[in-house]
Structure 1
Amino acid sequence: MLNLNHTTVIIIITVIISLLAWQNRTLMGRLIFDPISVTRFKQYDRFITHGFIHADGMHLLFNMFTLYFFGRVIERFYINKFGSLGFVAFYVLAIIVAIIPTYLKHKNNSRYLSLGASGAVSAVLFAFILFAPWETLYFFGILPIPAIVFAVLYTAYSVYAERRGTGNTNHSAHLVGAAFGVVATILIEPSLALHFINALLNPRF
């Protein structure tokens, strides 16, 4: 019997739903985060469904690639703490929390739309950095970079891009998701804060 971890199951579900949505504009329209539909028609499920569809292949690949490499470590942590569905609960909650500030900002904006798992993936990635800040990440699958350096650059760029307000990327969701991943994980295991500081002060490449 095939024994899939929850990270892999989430990836499979996300890929399937994204592929279906690309082929069906009605489905895409029903799943995407549309603040007006939430405000006027109480379609609260969009707080979750938008995290399982993506704009294109590169958007999907980048998010799922990141989730695959770092999700399994965080999955084990949350399952150990909360049981078999602990990681799934963390991931879904990250999707919801990451989009809330966006909703509050655009709840009456009929032209605003958002989609993608970036908020939840940021939560997973930044939670992972608490465990291993000097772990080598491969940016775009090629460029090696310490996890903590990536975190600093990622945060700085997201803040800069969010303030400029240009492009179609929801940088707010990235930042909120990252913050959620760090805060939630430390609240659950406070000793991780000290572990992170000690690891940060003792680089291992």
Structure 2
Amino acid sequence: MPITLVIVAITSIVSFMAFKNIRLMNDLILWPPAIARQREYHRLVTYGVVHADFSHLFVNMLTLYFFGQAMEGFFTRALGTFGFALFYLGGLVVSILPTYLKNRDNPNYRSLGASGAVSAVLFAFILLAPWATINVFFAIPIPAIIYALLYTGYSIYMDRRGHGNVNHSAHLWGAAYGVVFTLLVNQRVLPHFLDALLHPGMR
């Protein structure tokens, strides 16, 4: 079974369980004092298998399903059978670390959801196919590179505003991690990306 589907299945099952089990949710969510004081480092990963609600879960898993399958082959060829799992887990940790460090002494802060790691997968895909079509809200077709620019600009703007319950910082760090990790794994990706930008008809 593809690792992407395994991740989707595990995340979906655990999220549904946590919707009805507040204790499970509290044991897995990113709560900085539990890491700083009790050394529950597993939370740097397990926060990504629980979600706020069904729509939060659905968007993340649908995005992961489509783009994860496209990227799994790339990382498997480069790093072996569990290459994509390694990449995804790294995305969970790297995308949340700045948030954790900023809030490590804040007992009122909590974060959850796979959005950071999913952003890593999405931006890795964009490096390989910058002119592929991404259907925003299932209806608005946008070239992947344009989507990346809009997504990044929006996330920076919202992160600076600092309002709402969405962790835009994790989105940004996840995207950056996805780009850097992919370029480190295969240095030929950068010239491919730059060449593709000059040829909009390339898919």
The reply to whether residue 88 of structure 1 matches residue 85 of structure 2 is yes
Segment of structure 1 superposing worse, 186-195 or 119-128: 186-195
**After superposition, where does 1:42-61 map in structure 2 within 5 Å?**
42-61=39-58
Would the aligned equivalents of 2:96 and 2:170 in 1 still touch at CA under 8 Å? yes
What's the offset of the Cα at 1:191?
Answer: 1.2
Aligned-residue Cα RMSD (Å) equals: 0.8
Aligned partners of 2:53 and 2:138: how far apart in 1? 18
TM-score by length of 1: 0.97
Answer yes or no: is the 8 Å Cα contact 2:78–2:186 preserved in 1: no
Q: Does 1:23 align with 2:20?
A: yes
Unaligned runs of 5+ in 1: none
Match of 2:152 in 1: 155
Distance 2:138 2:92 in 1: 24
Give 1:141's aligned residue.
138
Instruction: Give the distance between the partners of 2:101 and 2:89, measured in 1 at CA.
Output: 19
Output one character per residue of 1:22-45: Cα deviation in whole Å (capped at 9) or x when no partner.
010000000000011111111100
Which portions of structure 1, spanning 4 or more consecutive aligned residues, are displaced by more than 2 angstroms? none
Counterpart Cα distance in 2 of 1:164 and 1:136: 30
2: CA distance between counterparts of 1:54 and 1:150? 24
Q: Normalising by the residue count of structure 2, what TM-score does the alignment of the two structures yield?
A: 0.98
User: In structure 1, the residue corresponding to 2:138 is in which secondary structure?
Assistant: coil
Distance 2:191 2:148 in 1: 18
Q: Are 1:98 and 2:86 an aligned pair? A: no
Q: 1:24-39, aligned counterparts within 5 Å?
A: 24-39=21-36
In 2, Cα distance between equivalents of 1:165 and 1:62: 22
